Amino acid sequence: MKEYYTGDTYKTPADRRTSIWDSVFLKTRIYFYFMVIKNIIKYNYKYARKGLYTSEKWTRESNDILNISEASGAKFEISGLDNIRSVKNAPVVLVGNHMGLLETLILPSVIDPITSMSFIVKKSLVTMPLLGKIISSTNPIVVRRENPRDDLVKVLTEGAEYLKKNISIALFPQSTRRPSFDRKQFNSLGIKLAARNGVKIIPFALKTDFVAQGKLIKDFGKLNRKKTVYITFGEPLKIEGNGKTEHEKIIEFISENLKRWGVDVI
């Protein structure tokens, strides 16, 4: 599969221009959301509804969203890609903080060309108009968030099946999307999944508040054009014992990067 980002890092070129249509709409959020929705409609009706939404289509659409973001003024800094490549021939569990919908749309183009992946997502995402059909087509592990015990069993059971098929699992071990990072809310589900299946775990930290959470509709917030989008991946960790040491290392990795980017860590 084509890799859209080569080398260990990707940084939006300094000479990357925004779309003239972004200026026509006075650099509001209109152009960004119009193009994102147009993109989702295209992939939904042309591919997902026809059963043609392949992994390649997923990563291409994801890269389209990154390009739309840059055309709307976003600046990206992505690093640590070689840490994913170091385990290219084996599945891994990837865990990180969760700020908004943007990372869910962007991460596939970064990760999936290196290691085939699937997300753990809440049920409401697969029932969303338009986007829900696309997300369903990526074969995610769907949790209901009604009974934590049932969700745990499902993730550990289905996650094991995916990992045996050489499909990596990406998850956000937080109860909800947050602009800050609460260390106590970051659970050890990823550690449990990796430990039970003898695979390594890769932490990632991200700052995606270029797209703020909306007041009325959570996924349609303002664009913070002065804020850079950061995504960084840490070194793969082998789980030893009960995984408590690795869990703390992951939390520290995320915390240190978020503090460096100016994000509140509780």
86-104: pLDDT as tens digits: 997 899 999 999 999 899 9
Q: Percentage of residues in the chain with pLDDT exceeding 90? A: 83
In total, the chain counts a number of residues equal to: 266
Query: Does any domain span residue 94?
Result: yes
Closest by Cα among 151, 152, 160, 121 to 137: 121
Structural domain contains residue 175: yes
Phi, psi of 118 (to 5 degrees): -145, 150
Three-state SS at 129: coil
- Dihedral sign computed on CA atoms, order 29, 31, 36, 40: positive
Q: Residue 252 is part of a domain; what is its CATH number?
A: 3.40.1130
Is position 3 within any domain?
no
Domain with 31, as residue range(s), is 9-260
pLDDT at 195: 96
| Count of domains observed in the chain | 1
- pLDDT class of 53 with cuts at 50, 70, 90: very high
pTM to 2 decimal places: 0.94
Distances, alpha carbon 131 to alpha carbons 71, 117, 177, in Å = 21, 18, 18
* Secondary structure element (H or E) that encloses residue 169, with its range: strand 168-171
pLDDT tens digits, residue range 235-244? 999 999 999 9
Q: Give me the percent of the chain exceeding a pLDDT of 70.
A: 98
Please write the tens of the pLDDT for every residue from 148-180.
888 899 999 999 999 999 999 999 998 688 899
d(Cα 8, Cα 79) in Å, to the nearest integer? 6
What are phi and psi for residue 261, nearest 5 degrees?
A: -90, 0
> What's residue 91's pLDDT?
97
Whether the predicted pLDDT of 61 surpasses 70: yes
Pairing of strands 93-96, 168-171: parallel
What are the DSSP calls for 13-76, one per residue?
-TTPPPPHHHHHTTTSSHHHHHHHHHHHHHHHHHTGGGT---HHHHHHHHHHHHHHHHHTT--E
Find the angle CA(213)-CA(65)-CA(11) to the nearest 5 degrees.
95
